[in-house]
Structure 1
């Protein structure tokens, strides 16, 4: 039960990373309408955001010791949620959702790599203590 709660904590952390990145970059908001949320998220995913996802994955892998794949996917879960929301509200949009999910998975790779690295660092630290 505690590990599920840790995964749930990572979802708002991913949103906060995107929101902080949007405040730092001052990206102009997209036009209101059909693809507003996905465009806003996509425009705010920059190298800085990928680096922040890497650091968040590193910290989560080191301290939480969860599955790195789950950590990375929870941190970027906001992207598929926005796509599915827009797909249900606006009929006919996001008709290539499988390809979008592949792109969202690629966006999760920095967080997954950071989580693997954090878990490895924790393992090495515990081996040194023995």
Structure 2
């Protein structure tokens, strides 16, 4: 197994997909579940995202379809970014990799922050924001 220093491009992209999957799990699945509980606790009017607030007023399949569309769109964006990483010149690739890693880290942090905010709404009835 290659070390971190000698990882191939394919290994690096596979690792990026794993981090992207974690971010999507937090930003979509966990957010969907906690948003539904938060809306039940304080009402859908408290939802900050107008599109999600609209979807909460419709049957559950509408909300699920909206989240599924977000996953598909995000996967297309991730695929595009990761493919550009593959074709980036070797001289620039480490810097581009750092940008991708920072972006994925920020997505994970945002997912955790949204999760924490939703839990605060569920438990305390008020947003952290």
What TM bracket, shorter-length normalisation?
A: 0.3 to 0.5
Query: Which is bigger in relative contact order (C-alpha 8 A, separation at least 6)?
Result: 2
Larger C-alpha radius of gyration, 1 or 2? 2
- Taking structure 2 as the reference length, the TM-score comes to 0.32
